[in-house]
Structure 1
């Protein structure tokens, strides 16, 4: 099985370049002011354009993802118009009704993230799956966390055993170059997502960790 990998929280060209050159399938760009990986729209626009140009020059197919948390319609419209992402990732507490509204509003494929600590949490994906291109299963952050993801927390990967889904889904939460192969084998995940696991500090992507993560995720 070919594993698809997303490097999230891209906030520099060297990180984007390394991810593309090392075989990343998706790059995530975060718009959430509390995140150390937050990029204002103008910065994201310039960096995403650089990433597209580099991927094109390398003849690599890479999808770009705008990650938002409980966005209002004004922000969504602005992102869709200015950034033209391949996907918008909803990483907040968006209800199925809100996701359906966003889907009707935008001509952009959606990824919905949900936090997991039990089998019941995994089951909640069913109501979202008809509305989105992909689901993303992340660990529930600690109670005192200010971020919905990207904090290095992980969950019991065996909770994903037997989960099929209507479309390929992402495994996220606490992944890093050293555990990603085990995580894929345990959860039978077709796609993986990493952010803090390839950083040397909050928001500081480490090119060597990006390369090693992608190598280990893809078994190359």
Structure 2
């Protein structure tokens, strides 16, 4: 990775403890520890592209969308084959019957019953079975994980978030200007990150509108 302080290409042994061995300065993220693409130079580039070099404010959630490196999804899958429990139940029952038969007989019949009992116990391992799997998806890094990197590692290293990035974990910031007496419109926002973005950039004040944040499931009650 590239040191964000002196621009030196660092090997793993040259960045122990998230400190550059060339300039002795600390950096926040190491892709070996925090995941592919999670390093200071790339995160700064992502933040600069979103904020227009700091002239626009964006949220940590929006930076996460821009910084994600991998996403995948898979459909639901039904169970296939015979369940292991059923296979073993049948196998043990047949095995017990063969052993009982071997005990009652002798000679070659008893021998072959014993062999059959052993072979029956191998069958459950050979019968294919695939468990059911629900549909799902995976994003790397997760929103929770990325937020932790930015609010812990990044802020402890640089004293704050990248220029123009605001934390949307708490309530949306409110502008200092009072709400207009006769607003032109009302914006009902059901996404907290978007509400934080609009307030942080002073959009309601500039457009003379009122911004209301509501739960997506109860947005219709705001004007009830």
Specify the TM-score bucket, using the shorter chain as the normaliser.
under 0.3
Q: Which has the higher strand share?
A: 1
Higher Rg of the two aligned structures: 2
- Which TM-score applies when normalising by structure 2? 0.22
Q: Which has the higher helix share?
A: 2
